[in-house]
Amino acid sequence: MATSLRTREGGPATGRSASRHDRGEGPFRFLTTGAGILLLAIMAAIAVFLVVKAIPALQQNTSNFFTEKLWTPNGAEPRFGIAALAFGTLISSLLALLMALPVAVGVALFISHYAPRRLAGVLGYLVDLLAAVPSVVYGLWGVIFLVPFMSGPATFLNTYFGWIPLFAGDAVYGRSILTASVVLAIMILPIIAAISREVFLQAPGSLEEASLALGATRWEMIRMSVLPFGRAGVVSAAMLGLGRAMGETIAVALIFPATFEITLRVLSANGNSIAANIANGFGEATVTGRGALIASGLVLFVITLAVNMAARLIVARRSFGGAA
């Protein structure tokens, strides 16, 4: 800051040359660049340190980490694997996406093209509020309200759609993959809706008018001139939502039955996810147990990283007029 005093009144007289000799410029530039590089370093460090702490535990593992379903890393003979957890993460997230995506696209269209203009802003804000609710509150709501509530719909699905393997089984439970997926769906809905809304609003008005002038109904107009433009954005929003769902921890930690089975029966008392298992298992974890959880976190990190990068690349490849 000492140098800044000298050049404070660096008016026209000193001109351009002042900026070249200004002693603040170099350090400031260095600071800003350094901050950016620090962010990259943090990303790298996350990967590196997770690997470093995972390796000792993986070496202790008496089973194959990728194919083993059980998670018993705390005993004398640690035996743990990611298979069931990864499967549970995938199926619950995909199911959540399946439920959230159509609703989110509908909400986005509602805000961008159907809601009365004056209300659209407020209604959009309401949907954004869904994203402001902390995940632990969804967890509490899920455990106390949704788990008992879901036994009704679950019984219905099991009774009438039991022939679909997803809904098969002799008994249904409130704490299930399905219930966890519903909570996840609610949580990822706002982000998918917000991004989709933005891309729908960016659809060129001239094309909307072109289709209306051809005698298109509102829906036909949307199909002709809004959806073709929004497609890439919606796909990428869906992937971002998927990434969120896979990483969500606390909201589902007490909803998953926390078993280590691989099953498609989403109404049964089975199901778990990598993130939920970390939250639930951390308290009792031994040194090896913690390492094992870190190893599972590394897997989660890699999967969500891949999903997120794919989502960003889709948008980058097909960006319309500088849309972020």
Partner 1 sequence: MTATARVLPAISTGRRVKNTFVQGLVWLAFGLAIIPLISVLWLVVKNGLARFDLTFLTHSMRGIAPRDAGGGAYHAILGTLEQVAIATVISVPIGLLTAIYLVEYGQGRRLARTISFFVDVMTGIPSVVAGLFILAFWILILGFGFSGFAGALALSILMMPTVVRSAEEMLRLVPTELREASYALGVPKWRTIVRVVLPTAFTGIVTGVMLAIARVAGETAPLLLTVFITNSINEDPFNGPQMGLPLYIFDQMGRPNDTAIDRAWAGALTLILIVMLLNLVARVIAWWRSPAKAR
Partner 2 sequence: MAKQIEVADLDAYYGSHKAIEGISMTIEPRSVTAFIGPSGCGKSTFLRTLNRMHEVIPGARVTGKIRLEDQDLYGAGVDPVSVRRTVGMVFQRPNPFPTMSIFDNVAAGLRLNGRVRRSELEGVVEKSLRGANLWNEVKDRLSKPGAGLSGGQQQRLCIARAIAVSPAVLLMDEPCSALDPISTLAIEDLIAQLKNDFTIVIVTHNMQQAARVSDRTAFFNLAGPGKPGKLVEMDDTSKIFTTPSEKATEDYITGRFG
Residues 224-253 that bind partner 2 (CB under 8 A): 224-225, 228-229
User: Scanning residues 88 to 117, which ones bind partner 2 (CB under 8 A)?
Assistant: 117
The rounded radius of gyration (Å) of the Cα atoms in the chain is: 25
Q: Name residues whose C-beta falls within 8 Å of residue 131's C-beta, 6 or more positions apart in sequence.
A: 187, 190, 191, 194
Q: Give the amino acid at 48.
A: V
Q: Report the nearest approach of partner 2 to the CB of residue 224 (Å).
A: 7
Nearer to partner 2, 11 or 322 (CB): 322
Number of residues that bind partner 2 (CB under 8 A): 18
Using CB under 8 A as the binding rule, whether residue 210 contacts partner 2 is answered as yes
Nearer to partner 1, 18 or 264 (CB): 18
Q: Is 206 in the site for partner 2 (CB under 8 A)?
A: yes
Binding site partner of 141, from partner 1, partner 2, none, Cβ cut-off 5-8 A by kind: partner 1
- Options 91-99, 106-114, 202-210, 278-286: segment touching partner 2 (CB under 8 A): 202-210
Outline where 248-318 has alpha helix (H): 250-253, 274-281, 287-317
CB of 166 to partner 1, least distance (A): 21
- With CB under 5 to 8 Å by kind, the binding choice for 207 among partner 2, partner 1, none is partner 2
Smaller CB distance to partner 2: residue 217 or 286?
Answer: 217
Nearer to partner 1 among residue 7 and residue 72 (C-beta): 7
Q: Give burial (CB, 10 Å; 0-12/13-18/19+) of 235.
A: middle
Q: What angle do CA 191, 195, 231 make, to 5 degrees?
A: 125
Task: Write down the least CB distance from residue 169 to partner 1, Å.
Answer: 26
Please write down the HEC assignment for all residues of 111-168.
Answer: HHHHCCHHHHHHHHHHHHHHHHCCHHHHHHHHHHHHHHHHHHHHHHHHHHHCCCHHHC
Among 37, 220, 286, 312, binds partner 2 (CB under 8 A): 220
Among the listed ranges 64-72, 85-93, 173-181, 199-207, the one in contact with partner 2 (CB under 8 A) is 199-207
A 10 A CB-CB count for 223 gives 13
Provide φ and ψ at 72, rounded to 5°: -130, 70
| DSSP sequence for 62-107 | SS-TTT---EE-SSSS-EE-SHHHHHHHHHHHHHHHHHHHHHHHHH
Residue from 43, 98, 119, 214 binding partner 2 (CB under 8 A): 214
Beta bridge partner(s), residue 71: 80
Binding partner of 281, given partner 1, partner 2, none, CB within 5-8 angstroms per partner class:
none
Find out whether 160 and 285 touch, Cβ atoms under 8 Å: no
Applying CB under 8 A, which part among 50-58, 165-173, 208-216, 242-250 lies near partner 2?
Answer: 208-216
Give the number of other CB atoms < 10 A from CB of residue 54: 21
Q: Which of residues 132 and 213 has its CB atom nearest to partner 2 in the complex?
A: 213
The contact set with partner 2 (CB under 8 A) reads 117, 204, 206-207, 209-217, 220, 224-225, 228-229
